[in-house]
Structure 1
Amino acid sequence: METSTFVYDGDCAFCTQCARVIERWIPTGARVLPWQFADLDTLGLTAAECEEAVQWVGVDGVRAAGPDAIARLLGDSNPLWRVAGAGLRFAPVRAAAWPAYRWVARNRHRLPGGTAACAVPSAGRD
């Protein structure tokens, strides 16, 4: 693996729309790709992990999920986005980010751009 990788759910229209925003507005050297087209074995990921949350696999081998993965992606960008990524890693913000991320993940089919295909499988719901 020569570059870091950010993996999202390509079956979800909301997630795909978010990935388009990343590709357009966040300059990063990381690959941004749907897990359905990623070599999960090479990345050391499972489909279950990818269905649960976005994933980051750094070129340095560091793995992160959910808002931690987003923080890593932002940290791999230009200085302005790196500040946002550092803010997301700040303990009080990070503590709030996980419940917010889980809420979005559970309700992504209801969010703008979301479809019924975006619904998290029932096994992944709280």
Structure 2
Amino acid sequence: METSTFVYDGDCAFCTTCAEFIERRIPTAARVVPWQFADLDALGLTIAECEEAVQWVGADDSRAAGPDAIAKLLAASGPLWRAAGAVLRVPPVRAVAWPTYRWVARNRHRLPGGTAACSLPQEARERLYGPAGRPTTGA
């Protein structure tokens, strides 16, 4: 692969708003594409992975998900954004980033730009947060 790719949920208005912000404001050579229009097989991604979190597939075939994917995208951007990506990789910040990311994912339909269509499918919510809506272990 010649270009890095950042994959998001194109069915979610909140995610699409964020992707549009990236395309307008964050100078990066990475492709920013909704998973619904991406060649997931070529990227080595599954629908389940893409439903759970944004994904990064680097030109060097590096992989990352969630806030780690966001950090990779920022690292592949302009100087100010690279600094933000570096901060996102600092262990104490990263430790907070994952629970925050999961909260945003769980509530994205309630956030600015979000709609009811942004709500994660029941199966994905239970896989990520358990039947009671509590986060499962792991990153």
What 5-or-longer segments of structure 1 have no aligned partner? none
Separation in structure 1 between the aligned mates of residue 120 and residue 20 of structure 2, nearest angstrom: 20
Query: Which residue pairs with 1:32 in the alignment?
Result: 32
Separation in structure 2 between the aligned mates of residue 8 and residue 71 of structure 1, nearest angstrom: 14
Residue range with higher mean Cα deviation, 77-86 or 116-125: 116-125
Q: CA deviation at 1:82?
A: 0.4
Could you tell me the TM-score, scaled by structure 2's length? 0.89
The 5 Å alignment of 1:1-126 reads 1-125=1-125, 126=129
- Post-superposition, which runs of at least 4 consecutive aligned residues in structure 1 deviate over 6 A? none
The secondary structure found in structure 2 opposite 1:56 is strand
Q: CA deviation at 1:109?
A: 0.4
Q: How many residues align?
A: 126
RMSD: 0.5
Cα offsets for 1:29-84 (capped at 9, x unmatched) = 00000000000000000000000000000001100000000000000001111000
Could you tell me the TM-score, scaled by structure 1's length? 0.99
Q: Percent identity?
A: 79
